[in-house]
Amino acid sequence: MKLSRKIVIPMIALGCMFAFTACSKQTGQKPEKETTALRTKDIKRPINTSQKKENTEVTIDQKQEKKQDASTQAKRNVAKATTTEVPIATKKDEKKSAKTETVVYNGFADGNCVEVQKEDGSFEVMLVMDDALIKKLDSMDIGSKIKISYKAKAGQANKQIIKVN
């Protein structure tokens, strides 16, 4: 059966129009409904327009004050943390004898710092300056208990591991 071009071309065109029209309606409807629903939930209508302007100015001033208070408080917290909670070791501290303790090894924090968990549950990052100790610690399993000897290092807040048993 042979169909003429005058019938086939319009049928193909109608089929394509129908297919593309159906697709565009399905994909186009969902986002519009969602955004409309979100917009209607967020709309707050003031009773009096003059009250709205006054309240907006007060709210903006309050927000600016809160931001300034928050940044001031954050600066105070940083200053307090760096000055009181983390003492820097001196030459006098470095001359004291080493302490020995059993800790849980949690792996390297960076190239020459190891994180350990002490017996009291606190975590501490300690320096490792000796290449042999770095290789030894690197070969150990994370989570294993190890016995270390450490002491203060002048100019550093973190203690230095000097021996691993």
Residue 12 lies in a domain: no
118 assigned to some structural domain: yes
Q: Could you tell me if residue 53 is inside a domain?
A: no
Whole-model pTM: value is: 0.48
For residue 152, give its domain range: 97-164
Whichever domain contains 148, its CATH number is 2.40.50.140
The answer for residues whose C-beta is within 8 angstroms of residue 124's C-beta and 6 or more apart is 115, 116, 117, 118, 158, 159
Q: Report the C-alpha gap between 19 and 43 in whole angstroms.
A: 37
Structural domain contains residue 49: no
* 139 within a domain of the structure (yes/no): yes
How many domains would you assign to the chain?
Answer: 1
Q: Residues 123-132: pLDDT tens digits?
A: 999 999 999 9
Query: What is d(CA 20, CA 13) in angstroms, rounded to the nearest whole number?
Result: 11
The pLDDT value given to residue 87: 87
* pLDDT tens readout for residues 35-44: 554 555 555 6
Does some domain include residue 76?
no
Task: Report if residue 83 sits inside a domain.
Answer: no
